[in-house]
Structure 1
Amino acid sequence: MVAAHSALLALLTEQTPECEPDGITVTLTTDDEMGMSLDVVYTRKGLPIAGEGL
């Protein structure tokens, strides 16, 4: 989990240096009707600055 966190944070910092994120939250959920989803939220000082969902 730590390796995934570091890799995702490094990719965001490399692609958008102006954002300067300092944290990342990854949420994996499963639902019988919708299936599986993955949400990634990048934060700076505890506030969301970007995100992605799959």
Structure 2
Amino acid sequence: MIEQSPFKWRHFQAHLILLRVRWYLRYALSYRDLEEIMLERGLQVDHTTIYRWV
């Protein structure tokens, strides 16, 4: 049986998604805070996308 990745069809790499979800769950950050942090690092992601990841 072939295991499918839970990140199939995502536009971002799995480690980036997991890191942002981890930051959201660990620290008192909003989705918009994470959006701003990612933009500072050169990645444009809407806060609703982060919401769907979580």
Greater strand share, structure number? 1
Greater helix share, structure number? 2
Verify same fold: TM over 0.5: no
Q: Give the TM-score, by structure 2 length.
A: 0.36
Q: Give the TM-score, by structure 1 length.
A: 0.36
